[in-house]
Each structure stands twice: as C-alpha cells, then as structure tokens.
Amino acid sequence: MSFFDALFGQFIDVIAWTDDGTDAVVRRFERHGHEIKYGAKLTVREGQAAVFVHEGRLADVFPPGLYRLKTNNMPILSTLQHWDHGFESPFKSEIYFVSTRRFTDLKWGTRNPVMLRDPEFGPIRLRAFGSYEMRVVDPGAFLREIVGTDGDFGAEEISDHLRNVIVSRFANAIATAHIPALDLAANYDDLGRFVRDRIQPEMTELGIEITKLLVENVSLPPEVEQALDRRSSMGVIGDLRKYAQFQAAEALRASGDATAGVGLGVGMGAGAAMARQMAEALSAPGQATPPALPGMAAIWHAAIDGAAQGPFALEALRGLAAQGRLTRDSLVWREGMAQWAAASEQSDLAKLFAAPATPTPPPLPSS
C-alpha cells in the first residue's frame, strides 16, 4: 500500500457495506491499520448490524441507521478509549457488518437411518430430509460465539453445525412421538414445529433464530416400500377371484394355447373382462361342455380345443381324457391355484392318464 493510500485511509469518513446478494453473514470492514476518523459517517442498512471490536473486545453494536461516530453515540467505545470531552483524533477499531436478514432454503437430512419401533411394522429404519431458515438476532453473541475473527463468514460455515443439531433433535422427536410410519406425512408440520422449538434455546445462545423448519419427506427402506406397494396392489385388485381368472388367462396366452391375435387389456379390470370374452369367443361351436354329474362338484377349468372351458367335475374330465381331448399336457386350473398348469402335474388328475392294466390271457385248454 502506498503512502497516499495510507494517508487517505486515516481520513475516511464513510463506513458502509453493500450486501452483494451472496450468502455472506459477516463481512469485516477493511481499512489500513483499522484507523477510523472521529466523526466519520456510519451507514447501517436494513437487514444489517455493525459491530465494533476494540482491542479484541466487543465495544458497540449499531442497528440500521446513519451515525456520526462521536463520543455521545459511542459510550462503550468512548469508555474503552478513555476519551476526554472533545477528543477528535482517529481511533483504531475493527468493524464487522452482520447480515440480519433471513437465510432461506438451507438443507438438512439424515446421513444414517433413524432406528425406531413402529406400532405397525415393528423395528424399522427411517430417513428424512427437509429445509430450514435462520437469521442472526444477536450480532454480538453471534460474533463472540461463532465467528470470532473471521472477516468473511458465510452461511455454509455454520450450516453443518445447525444440520447436526436438527438431525439429532429430529431423531429424538420421531422416536418418542410413537406416530405410525404411515401417518407421518400427516404430521410433517407438527414435527417441524416441535423440532424447531426444541433447538431454539440452543440457537439463542449463539445469537441465531430458526425462523422455520420444514420436514419435506420421511422415507422407509426400499424393501418395506416394495411390500407396501404389493399391499396397495392387492387393495386395487379387489376381487381376488377375478384376478385369478385374469392371471389364468395370461398364462394360457403365454403358453401359446390361446388363438393368436387375442389381446388382453392393460388394466386389471380390462384384463379380467377380456379373459371372460376370450373364454366365450374361442369356444368351438357345436361342442357342448359335458355337464357335471349330480352330486359332483364342478371345479376344474381346462384348455380344450384351443379355448378355456369349464367348470368340469372330475368324472367329466375322465370322459374328455378317454376321448383324447384332454391330455397330460393340457392346461388346467381351479380356484386356489396361482396359475394354469399341466393336467399331469395335478394329483387328482394324473390318475386319469394311467395306462390301463393289460388283461391276463385265459389259460390254454389242456390236450
């Protein structure tokens, strides 16, 4: 720095900080030798505070306004300087401008899952994340407890500490609330307020206020989510009998026994309807379905002549097997089966295809 820079630095009369819109929370006002002219103008804008530090000690805090730095408006600093009335020489002090605006969209989240006992699922692991807002409400305490002598302090430098505090208190809150995991989404707002109220006393000691804390998501482990999806799917399916029929028709189509060109609907309801239509449309004309005998339960469905037919009683299937229309490889299905299967794989039907016993020839006549 040149001699003239040093000389003009001692006669500076305007002290101000224009926030550049970054995440700077504290910015030190830099001057050669920290020398400030007695009577200089100090401009503190809205959303700011100016903190004077003299010889390592916090001297004065100025809220928004325009000030002339004189003895009558700097009582603490004047006492520290031992100024007599009318003393007007330059003085040396560090000036820190502190942003008191809200810092928004700060993120928090659990690095590791939170273990807890759920009333419905038992022991589970949860992850959570969200956002919060903070601002400095006590610039002196914030400078003393957090910033120290850092002349360029940003919000990211304290966000890690705040995130750790939030996660710790959130884990405690969610573990003691005994809220079922499926009901957490309805309690995000209450959880956010509860955690904010829990951590605010600690933040007050640091000169900070958490103005808002949001819980954006609480997620279950992937395997639990998959189980829930399957459970939800069963609720959407509704009638399990119709769903089984749809699955049976799908298996029949996949096996190639269904006539080419017959398509099944994408949706479950459309699929079940198409399965019924396929059974009706593909029934060969002129071939009546053998009726069930009195007292015999008609429980079997079979793929016969390229169409799903039935239900049949066991005796009816025996007759079809004798005619050669029902073979070992014919697909059959009854209620309770997950999908269609070969007739020979069913214990009740396998005996229909047993080879008949060879009759014993009569004895030869004696000579």
pLDDT computed for residue 352 by the predictor: 85
Helix locations, the chain, DSSP H: 3-9, 75-81, 139-142, 156-177, 188-205, 222-237, 240-255, 268-281, 314-323, 347-350
Greatest mean pLDDT among 210-214, 279-283, 284-288: 210-214
Q: What is the pLDDT of residues 92-138, one digit of tens each?
A: 778 899 999 999 999 999 988 888 888 888 888 899 999 999 999 99
The token pair that represents 28 in the structure block: 């030190």
Fold entry, domain 103-225: Tetrahydropterin Synthase; Chain A (3.30.479)
Q: Which of 8, 93, 79, 103 is nearest to 50 (CA)?
A: 93
Q: Could you report the per-residue pLDDT of 162-173, keeping only the tens digit for each?
A: 999 999 999 888
Polymer length in residues for the chain: 367
The phi and psi torsions of 354 (rounded to 5 degrees) equal -65, 140
The pLDDT-based confidence of 18 (bands split at 50, 70, 90) is confident
pLDDT at 191 over 50: yes
196-203 long-range contacts, CB within 8 A, separation 24+:
196/132, 198/169, 198/172, 198/173, 199/165, 199/166, 199/169, 202/165, 203/134, 203/162, 203/165
Helices 268-281 & 240-255, crossing angle to 10 degrees?
60
Q: What is the predicted pLDDT for the residue at 196?
A: 94
Structure-token match 């469905």, residue found: 301
Structure pTM? Answer: 0.56
- Reply yes or no on whether the pLDDT at 274 is more than 80: no
Instruction: Tell me the C-alpha distance between 42 and 64, whole Å.
Output: 10
Contact indicator for 121, 129 with CB cutoff of 8 Å: no
